[in-house]
Amino acid sequence: MNLILPRENPVPAPTVPGMLLHTGASTATREQVFAVRTPPGTDTWYPLSHRSLVHEVQSELKACGFHLDGERHALSHEGARYFGVFSISLPERTQRDVGWVVGLRNSHDKTYPAGLVAGTRVFVCDNLAFSGEVRLSRKHTRHAFRDLRQLMARAVGQLGEKFRKLDERVLAYQGRPFADMEAHDFVVRSIDSRVITPTQVPDVLREWREPSHDAFQPRTLWSLFNAYTEVFKGGNPHTAVQRGQALHGLCDALVGLAS
């Protein structure tokens, strides 16, 4: 069922489990996000409202044929920073154990530009993993608001190819056997690549050796990948993007998908 809502209907769609939050951030309703006041701009900086971004990404997702199955929002720094997760699908897609998610972010304190990120949601454990980021072609510049619809259309238009690559990745990870010694070496390299911190090593190894979910009992790269994403739960959503990209990079190299 298509739950993308028209602009005049403020009722929120179902929420997406597994939302990543960091210290100082809290989940927010659609109404709370829309109520955040956009600060006045300067001669060189023109902030975009959180409301406009949410509306436009939903509109463009619908225009591209995506269904919005759920959403969740978070605010931090007194509403100056916004992060949202949208669970989306296509009727013709056959992969059913892994879903697609779009991360949307915005800031009113010049921390980062508005942007989108493609990712996956593993239904069995509701883990989220973010892949390549899709930045809007402009930051908060003079004509950003005027051009928002065009910018969003361009960004969302890139998602289809990214999601197809994510499905290819999952199949490749599932088909790659992985032994304990290889996993231990991978963990060390993941520290060097800043996928995890040294303090997270015991948690990743515990999830690898004794998975919280039976689906990850097979000794494959997919199971190890999900050991990481299980540990990522509750982390900073903004650094999760960089960590997810680094994790995908290490895994892609092992299955011949590295660019």
Does the residue 21 lie in any domain?
no
Mean pLDDT across 59-76: 90
Do 184 and 221 share a domain, yes or no? yes
Q: Single out the residue in 103, 131, 158 at which a domain terminates.
A: 158
pLDDT of residue 12: 44
pLDDT of residue 32: 95
Do 182 and 131 share a domain, yes or no? no
pLDDT tens digits for range 133-189:
676 645 555 666 667 777 788 888 888 888 888 899 999 999 999 999 999 999 999
Of 259 and 99, the structure prediction assigns the larger pLDDT to: 99
Please say if the pLDDT value at position 24 is more than 80: no
Three-state DSSP class for residue 217: coil
| Dist. CA 149–CA 126, nearest whole Å | 31
Do 143 and 185 share a domain, yes or no? no
% of the chain beyond a pLDDT of 70: 82
* 247: number of Cβ within 10 Å: 24
Q: Domain range holding 217?
A: 170-255
pLDDT of residue 144: 64
Q: Single out the residue in 126, 158, 190 at which a domain terminates.
A: 158
Token pair in block for residue 201: 């090593």
Nearest Cα neighbor of 230 from 248, 217, 211, 209 is 211
pTM above threshold 0.85: no
pLDDT tens digits for range 117-139:
888 888 777 677 777 767 664 55
Which residues make beta-bridge pairs with 101? 87, 119
Do 86 and 152 share a domain, yes or no? yes
When pLDDT is cut at 50, 70 and 90, the band that residue 6 belongs to is very low
Do 57 and 97 share a domain, yes or no? yes
Three-state DSSP class for residue 40: coil
